[in-house]
Amino acid sequence: MKKTFAAIAACMVACAAQAGGFYVGGQLGVMTSKNLTDSAGSSVQQNLGGTVTSSQDTQAAAGRIFAGYNINPLVGIELGYLQMSDVKGSVAGTTAGNSNYSGDFTYRTSGFDVSAVVHPFESSASKETPPTGLYLRAGISEYTLSGSSSSPASSFVSWRVNSLSGTGTILGLGYDWKLGPGALRLDATLHQSMANVTDNDSLALSVGYLYAF
């Protein structure tokens, strides 16, 4: 999958160099976070017995850089790289043998996405001017979810101190306002099954700017 993303990027650069329509940009925002610490606590409890409580951040900051190519005034293809800030969680409990334990978990998510971006009402864009107005987005992602833990019971949730990688889907909508040589962007995107983890969905809300060549 990473080779596919690299091939798409190379194709975009080649097309942009020959015919214009290329743009780059960045965006910052917040993303919701699946509660992975609850399942970590459940895994520990299944192995140690007793009782457990857990808590985790419900959202994280996120940044994304992207490059796109406008195939025509209505449709473009966009390649992005996403980085979420660390998500913190904690567990604490008592084993069946009445011993207390506690630990902290940290999760990180990052990776690439590629999507089609459609401006259904665009009529004035050119190769040198980015499309503006409402847009719809659909694509796929290749994210990596990694984690670390200070818990002495972390061996019972071993994947959370290593990493998982896999594909997911992205669906979104937003609005581009013409501003200077590019456009100001507001974006809402649903990232589904991030890193191919079931129900690891996240809604991202962000603001950004794209610059057209």
Which conformational region is residue 167 in: left (phi greater than 0), alpha (psi within -120 to 50 degrees), or beta? beta
pLDDT at 180: 87
Question: Do 193 and 168 touch, CB atoms closer than 8 A?
Answer: yes
- Summarize pLDDT for 92-135 with one digit per residue, the tens: 888 888 888 788 888 899 999 999 999 998 755 555 667 889 99
β-bridge partners, 85: none
Q: Is 12 helix (H, G, I), strand (E, B) or coil?
A: helix
| Structure-block tokens of residue 92 | 């604490």
pLDDT of residue 49: 80
- Looking at residue 19, its pLDDT comes to 52
User: What pLDDT shows up at residue 114?
Assistant: 97
Comparing CA positions, the residue from 164, 162, 171, 186 lying closest to residue 105 is 162
- Chain position carrying tokens 């590629």: 114
* 23 burial type by CB count under 10 A (0-12 exposed, 13-18 middle, 19+ buried): buried
How do the pLDDT tens digits run along the chain, 213 residues long?
A: 655 555 544 554 454 444 558 899 999 999 999 888 887 778 778 877 888 888 999 999 999 999 999 888 889 999 999 999 999 988 888 888 888 878 888 889 999 999 999 999 875 555 566 788 999 999 999 999 988 877 655 555 544 456 889 999 999 999 999 898 889 999 999 999 999 988 999 999 999 999 987
In the chain, the domains with their CATH numbers are 2-212 (2.40.160.20)
